[in-house]
Structure 1
Amino acid sequence: MTQPKILCLNGPNLNMLGVREPELYGRTTLADIEAAVRAKAGPLGMEIDFRQSNYEGELVTWIQQAHGDIAGVIINPGAYTHTSIAIADALRILTVPIIELHFNNSYRYADRQFRHLSHVRPVATGVIFGFGAAGYLNAIEAMNNILKPPFGKA
């Protein structure tokens, strides 16, 4: 039996984790998160394809290329959450579980109302936000529960 492949996509500015607004996002880098995701996913029998891009079109292309090749998607679209209908449309092509992921609970920030809109959320199977970098590990666990018994398919 082959391992289910999970596509973990990260949008713009996430390559600057650890540097950008550490009071909001912490000091953990994207490389730290990738290592933790792989360490969590390996024993669960999952293969991880972990990617980051600052370019909307590149994210759309990766989603399209993943069609038929993956068991699930974990996506932190960054600012494209609020602006990219193209990413949402690309995700609609897929027939696998999709988890939308964010570091912060955007509803806590009254001065950031624009961050309450998500074009990805209507396409997502579920959403994880507000747990910082640990949200990625929560997403791996959630994906495992969706894909494997007793909750998911065998």
Structure 2
Amino acid sequence: MTKDSVEAEEARDRPKTRHIDVLLGQRVRLVRDAKPVSREDMADYLGVSVATIQRYENGSQRIAAARLWQICRRLDVKLAHLFAGLPHQVMTDGGVAEERRSTFDREDGRAKTLVLLAKAVGKLPADRLEIAVPVVKALKPNRKR
């Protein structure tokens, strides 16, 4: 076996990025943006490059368990929070499990909206913040019993 063929075989055996890596990376980015922690701050904390943080967040590079634990410590978030609501089975022989995709997309869209709302509310001065709370509560739909 030549060196090239050995390297090609090893490359085939390496785990490929799965859909879950993309979803997890998106979650990390949403939380990081909401805190707000810059990519540069996160890279400095972890001792990696900003490009590595970008690869984590776009799912092109898997996040090792120990690294994910460090990310959660820096963002002051529980590990379970990053996985909450993710589909249990994200890959099948035919690709992404379709039965859970639409539900997750709605949940992910809601999470992004909540992050945008949190950012906007976080920029409000104290006197406006006191007004915002009852306004948001008033938007809650009434439940009929």
Question: Shorter-chain TM-score category?
Answer: under 0.3
- 1 or 2, which has the higher helix percentage? 2
Say which one has the larger Rg: 2
TM-score normalised by L of structure 1: 0.24
TM-score normalised by L of structure 2: 0.25
- 1 or 2, which has the higher strand percentage? 1
